[in-house]
A = this chain, B = another copy of it.
Amino acid sequence: MSYDPEKEHLTIPDAEQLVTAKAQNIFDQNLEKKTNLKFSTGKRLRARIRVLEAEVAEFQSSESARLYGLTSEVERAVAKAISEENGHRLYRLIKPLHPADFADLIERHSYTERRLLVTIVGKNFDPEILAELDEAVREEIIPYLSNEVLSSSLASLPTDDTIGVFGGLGEEEQERLLSSISEDGRILVEEGLAYEEDTAGRLMQREVVSVPRNWTVGQTVDFLRISSELPVDFYDIFILDRDRSPLGKLSLSNLLRTKRPVLVEDIMERKFHRVLVHMDQEDVAMLFRKYGLVSAPVVDEKEKLVGMITVDDVVDVIDEEAEEDLMRLGGVVEDDLHGSLVSTTRLRFSWLAINLMTAILASVVIGAFGATIEKMVALAVLMPLVASMGGNAGTQSLTVAVRALAMRELTTTNASKFVIKETAVGFFNGVVFACIAGIVSWLWFGDLQIAAVLATAMIINLIIAGLFGALIPIGLKRLNFDPAIGSSVFVTTVTDVVGFLSFLGLAAYFLI
């Protein structure tokens, strides 16, 4: 996904002059409005100079933004330019931004400002911005783009990015965009969209470099120099047999260090990692991360080469998967940072509803011991201690389990070892916290019996927490559910119920 900073210089100047002239007008009006004065020419000139100096400073900081990202100075300057409706300055600030930074800038602003940011760039809108945007935001801004901008945008993106952009759209928008691109492009996009979401087919780009096995290094190098249809970035060349099935992989660094007469077949890597087109993107990410790949060939069922996946796309997948696990463990169905208030409220609701049911279950357990609590109100005071410690210990175990399952570090080989270890950890920490909590409650209520019951319940619940904190994610995974989704609700239900039941039950039996 390289970014060619020279490219935009070809198209911008005239647009810039146009914006400048318009903006200058606004600028002069603003200045006069603010100071409430009609300036004499001298004053006006000096004011202009000061403003121009400030602009030069801003421009320099936005130049550094190109290298080191969207700095907070640039962000502040953009916010100021928006609030002052200074189109000229805004354009000057935005222009040097990398597409990824511009996408960030759009995401961080709200509805009307987003629209302003997109329209002010007009036909100089870089297609890569679309690929970088969050899905929800992308769908929001596409209507602001003209068909002309859209079709030229999509034509210049590699297939994986184009398909990524399409994948996030509603059907109507998909139709509109499809009609705006070329016949060839349309076929590729439709083929890409035919693959299931989150598979290698969706992730790959169709543009690859491949050569036959009987070519020499020299032939290959010459071919690369004259070919006009190379992908923008590539790191490996694939060597194919007659059926277009990849026989080997040759890194560019290896190609470059080899003498011209050598056959590519003699220097290619024969044991390389293929990606099947229907492979889950999580498995693809696993391959890349484990073997340190930068690109991999994608093959269909007949082992024919159909595309290539590059590491930058995999990095996105790794981020996505990590985010998904984190969100799901935190009870968030979907990252909703950029979502609207309504959709966020709705997405959070379902998790809270499940939680309400499990909390009611815990309340039912407490309710069963109503008479006991009535006689000894200290029980009501202390009971959350047991449940809360169990919940936290269980969350610790399940967090380690969920991550280890996602990273394929927890397998059939070491699963039972892990469960035993977690249970033992629960037991040992249970003993320690039983002592601490017991002493605290003894000092507080001066009742050794309550202290003993509290301590016993604590040990029981922490053992249960370790056991189920390890067992539940492993069990969910084995039943082909995502362990990140259900684990925490199941585990805390268990620790709540066991916590209240053991503490109140023991109290009812021994103390009343």
Please report A residues at the B interface, Cβ cutoff 8 Å. Answer: 1-5, 66-69, 72, 75-76, 79, 98, 100-101, 104, 107-110, 221, 224-225, 227, 230-235, 251-253, 255-259, 269-274, 286-294, 311-312, 314-316, 318-319, 322-323, 325-327, 329-332, 335-337, 341, 344-345, 348-349, 351-353, 355-356, 359-360, 362-363, 366-367, 370-371, 373-374, 377-378, 380-385, 387-389, 392-393, 395-396, 398-400, 402-404, 407-414, 417-418, 421, 424-425, 428-429, 432-433, 436-437, 440, 444, 496
The answer to whether A315 and B318 have CB atoms under 8 Å apart is yes
Residues from chain B with Cβ under 8 Å of A332 in the complex: 396, 399-400
Given A315-B318, A366-B384, 15 other A-B residues pairs in contact with their CB atoms under 8 A = A2-B292, A98-B290, A225-B256, A227-B257, A252-B253, A289-B315, A294-B294, A330-B398, A337-B409, A337-B418, A345-B428, A352-B396, A359-B389, A366-B380, A371-B377
A460 to chain B, nearest CB (A): 15
Top 5 closest pairs, chain A to chain B, by CB = A330-B399, A1-B292, A322-B322, A292-B312, A380-B380
In whole angstroms, how far apart are the Cα atoms of A234 and B367 in the complex? 67
In whole angstroms, how far apart are the Cα atoms of A440 and B361 in the complex? 12
The answer to whether A433 and B384 have CB atoms under 8 Å apart is no
In whole angstroms, how far apart are the Cα atoms of A227 and B253 in the complex? 12
A175 to chain B, nearest CB (A): 30
The answer to whether A66 and B271 have CB atoms under 8 Å apart is yes
A84 to chain B, nearest CB (A): 16
Q: Known: A256-B256, A312-B294, A384-B363. Contact between A352 and B107, CB under 8 A?
A: no
Q: What are some 25 contacts across the A-B interface (CB < 8 A)?
A: A5-B271, A100-B291, A104-B290, A230-B257, A232-B253, A235-B252, A252-B253, A252-B256, A294-B311, A319-B322, A322-B323, A325-B326, A329-B330, A330-B399, A331-B396, A337-B404, A337-B409, A337-B410, A352-B389, A352-B396, A353-B433, A356-B437, A360-B440, A362-B384, A370-B380
Residues from chain B with Cβ under 8 Å of A234 in the complex: 253
In whole angstroms, how far apart are the Cα atoms of A356 and B382 in the complex? 11
The answer to whether B400 and A385 have CB atoms under 8 Å apart is no
The answer to whether A326 and B399 have CB atoms under 8 Å apart is yes
